[in-house]
Copies of this chain bind each other. A is one copy, B any other.
């Protein structure tokens, strides 16, 4: 296993809070981070050795500033695949472009999981208004229409309660290539995070129970009282996906639990919001294990050190930061974002009990 020596520079595409926490984990192991992202003064910039502001499509600039990077990773799943793939001649891209490509397209993601024997809600590819009619006939209502690409935090989604809402939903997704998914009356939303090393060794976090409000992750907790069958299925699905992708790094897999069934919701080829509690709540955090994996190092153990709850600070929640600090058991994390906006993830809090 070829190890990236400590002191080397890691190129990170994306400069949000995930890049911020990755940069700190990299620094703990003596690596330097060089962030590339289109936004000026990104949250990751405050803790990275270097930051370059340029479009993800500006390959000339990226190639110039990243001449010295030893490995490339990303913290944002909507980085253009063409950029990521083109940079592979500079340094190894981990996770690989295929993981990015599949995760960016809900239809490819679902097909891929299904081919691996994974369970999912009924779904259909919707390329046109006519496809939507066929899909609704087949799947029925209620259902959810989601754009195939560029959806996150509940964006690009429309619920269809009855067939006569199809026109409205098609307008909501702006007639973009989409997927129709049957509505699942799930018992729980869970996630599993899997770290997979360059040698194929894995470390698992979870299952984690997640609560979303308005499509945005509100809180996560672990352990979750699941039957051994459900837990095994959740871990198994994560392992199959990671192995089939020859994945290197941390992969987030969101699932629905319905009785004993575990249905794939979506996967994120990056460190994941539902794993922020691993900073204090696990022996090795998801961020450190992502860095270990992409640098060819042995993974650290993912064992939890207690029962854990993580709550996102979204929008106005951030104004409560000072009160939270008075709770001596709360681990408060703020991302240094200057502007508080509705729906914006400003920080998070973790409790370990």
Contacts and interface: CB of A to CB of B under 8 A. Distances in A.
A51 B131 CA distance: 57
A62 to B, nearest CB: 20
Instruction: Determine how many copies of this chain the complex contains.
Output: 2
Contact of A30 (B45, B297, B328, B347): B347
Contact of A325 (B45, B283, B292, B326): B292
Interface string A299-340: 111000100000000000000011001101100111111100
A7 interface: yes
B334 A30 contact: yes
Contacts of A301: 328-329
Nearest to A30: B334
Given A6-B321, A325-B297, A336 B46 contact: no
Given A27-B47, A46-B32, A328 B347 contact: no
A3 interface: yes
A341 to B, nearest CB: 14
B328 A283 contact: yes
A297 B283 contact: no
B321 A298 contact: no
B283 A298 contact: no
Interface string A272-297: 00000000000110000000100001
Q: Which of A6, A321, A329 counts the most B-chain CB atoms under 10 A from its CB?
A: A6
A216 interface: no
Nearest to A27: B47
A336 B32 contact: yes
Contacts of A20: 27
Contact of A334 (B28, B45, B305, B335): B28
A7 B338 contact: yes
Contacts of A59: none
Best-buried of A7, A30, A33, A335 by chain B (most CB within 10 Å)? A30
Contacts of A292: 325
B7 A336 contact: yes
A184 interface: no
A283 B298 CA distance: 26
A49 interface: yes
A318 B267 CA distance: 38
A47 B24 contact: yes
Interface of A: 3, 6-7, 20, 23-24, 27-33, 45-49, 283-284, 292, 297-301, 305, 321-322, 325-326, 328-329, 332-338, 347
17 contacts: A6-B336, A7-B336, A24-B47, A28-B332, A28-B333, A30-B321, A30-B335, A30-B347, A31-B336, A32-B336, A33-B46, A46-B49, A47-B47, A47-B49, A297-B322, A298-B325, A305-B305
